[in-house]
């Protein structure tokens, strides 16, 4: 009996969830909601735009072989803010990687704020994420991803791991932003280099796609300070603001990341779960 149990394949997460939002009768409203497996979506009550959605991975974290897919469709003139209930934890992987796929579409004049809480990477973890967004005419997006390699307050550190993050953002069918970030297997050694973070373990990338993005440049630089950088420019008439931040831990990172999100997210401000 013990030999039979030893031969069993470990159970893995295979989950997906889809959310569609339409602008109807003067407000952004839920059009479609689909959930499968450990991927869940909850919608806090709101009396005004944007519609707010909270993503939940009921498995409690990810490890090698897990697959998670999120799809968000924001219709013409609609707006949505999407966040997560908690930080996503990526645990040690015996084999393979955890894979997360994020697919967004925003119709003409619509707006999406993708504001998940931090991804926490544990020692010996393996993780790969693909993020793709298709924006229509005049559509806007604010996309944030923050990552913490170990929690200092818990006495954790990450020596070796594999982490990969791939973004592709299109507007009116044209590619306006592409990046591939990969680190590992010697995470601690790479982060220690002065050209990377000088040993800091908490990092964040913030991308704003908006025709008015350049107007926020100086205020964003004031918030980010010396531990990071902010740039703004246009690609095929699409305005972009890109910020990168690094810090010694997640708390220090949030001290600048939160006001930066509040600045760039305008009247929508910060999702409620970030302040709980």
DSSP codes joined into one string, 123-177: TTBEEEEEEEEEE-TT-EEEEEEEEEES-GGGT---SB-EEEEEEEEEETTEEEE
DSSP code at position 216? G
Tokens of 181: 């970030």
Rounded Cα distance, 263 and 257, in Å: 10
Query: What is the reported pLDDT for 5?
Result: 45
Query: What is the reported pLDDT for 156?
Result: 85
Is residue 7 predicted with pLDDT exceeding 70?
A: no
Tens digits of per-residue pLDDT, 72-95? 999 999 999 999 999 999 999 988
Is residue 8 predicted with pLDDT exceeding 70?
A: no
Choice between 275 and 271, residue whose per-residue pLDDT is larger? 271
Q: What is the mean pLDDT of residues 162-172?
A: 97
b or e along 211-235 (b: 16 or more beta carbons within 10 Å of the residue's beta carbon)? eebbebeeebeebbeebbebebeee
Mean pLDDT, the chain, rounded, equals 93
Tokens of 18: 């889809």
Tokens of 242: 């890109």
| Backbone dihedral angles phi then psi of residue 260, each to the nearest 5 degrees | -65, -45
Query: What is the reported pLDDT for 12?
Result: 82
Nearest of 160, 240, 263, 252 to residue 204 by alpha carbon: 252
> With bands split at pLDDT 50, 70 and 90, how would you rate the model's confidence at 268?
confident
**Pick from 27-36, 69-78, 148-157, 179-188: least confident:** 148-157
Beta bridge partners of 41: 55
Query: What is the reported pLDDT for 132?
Result: 98
> With bands split at pLDDT 50, 70 and 90, how would you rate the model's confidence at 164?
very high
Q: What is the mean pLDDT of residues 156-184?
A: 95
Q: List C-alpha distances in Å: 264 to 3, 29, 100, 166, 223.
A: 56, 23, 25, 22, 11
Q: Where are the alpha helices (DSSP H) in the chain?
A: 2-7, 187-191, 217-224, 250-264
Nearest of 112, 167, 104, 97 to residue 134 by alpha carbon: 104
> With bands split at pLDDT 50, 70 and 90, how would you rate the model's confidence at 219?
very high
> With bands split at pLDDT 50, 70 and 90, how would you rate the model's confidence at 276?
low
Of all residues in the chain, the percent with pLDDT exceeding 90 is: 83
Q: List C-alpha distances in Å: 195 to 150, 190, 192, 236, 248.
A: 20, 9, 9, 30, 16
Is residue 146 predicted with pLDDT exceeding 90?
A: yes
């Amino acid at each position: 009996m013990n030999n039979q149990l030893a031969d069993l394949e470990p159970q893995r997460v295979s989950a997906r969830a889809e959310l569609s939002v339409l602008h109807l009768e003067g407000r952004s409203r839920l059009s479609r909601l689909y959930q499968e497996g450990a991927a869940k979506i909850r919608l806090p009550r709101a009396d005004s735009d944007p519609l707010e959605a909270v993503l939940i991975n009921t498995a409690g974290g990810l490890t090698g072989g897990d697959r998670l897919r999120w799809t968000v469709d924001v219709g013409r003139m609609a707006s949505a803010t999407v966040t997560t209930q908690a930080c996503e934890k990526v645990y040690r992987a015996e084999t393979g990687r955890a894979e997360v796929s994020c697919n967004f579409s925003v119709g003409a004049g619509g707006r999406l704020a993708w504001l998940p809480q931090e991804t926490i990477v544990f020692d010996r973890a393996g993780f790969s994420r693909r993020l793709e967004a298709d924006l229509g005419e005049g559509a806007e997006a604010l996309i944030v991803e923050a990552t913490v390699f170990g929690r200092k307050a818990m006495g954790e550190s990450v020596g070796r791991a594999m982490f990969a993050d791939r973004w592709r953002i299109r507007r009116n069918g044209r590619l306006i932003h592409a990046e591939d970030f990969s680190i590992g297997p010697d995470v601690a050694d790479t982060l220690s280099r002065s050209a990377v973070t000088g040993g800091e373990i908490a990092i964040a990338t913030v991308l704003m796609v908006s025709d008015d993005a350049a107007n926020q440049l100086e205020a964003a630089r004031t918030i980010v300070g010396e531990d990071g950088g902010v740039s703004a420019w246009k690609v095929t008439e699409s305005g972009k603001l890109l910020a990168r931040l690094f810090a010694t831990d997640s708390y220090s990172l949030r001290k600048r990341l939160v006001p930066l999100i509040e600045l760039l997210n305008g009247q929508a401000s910060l999702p409620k779960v970030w302040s709980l």
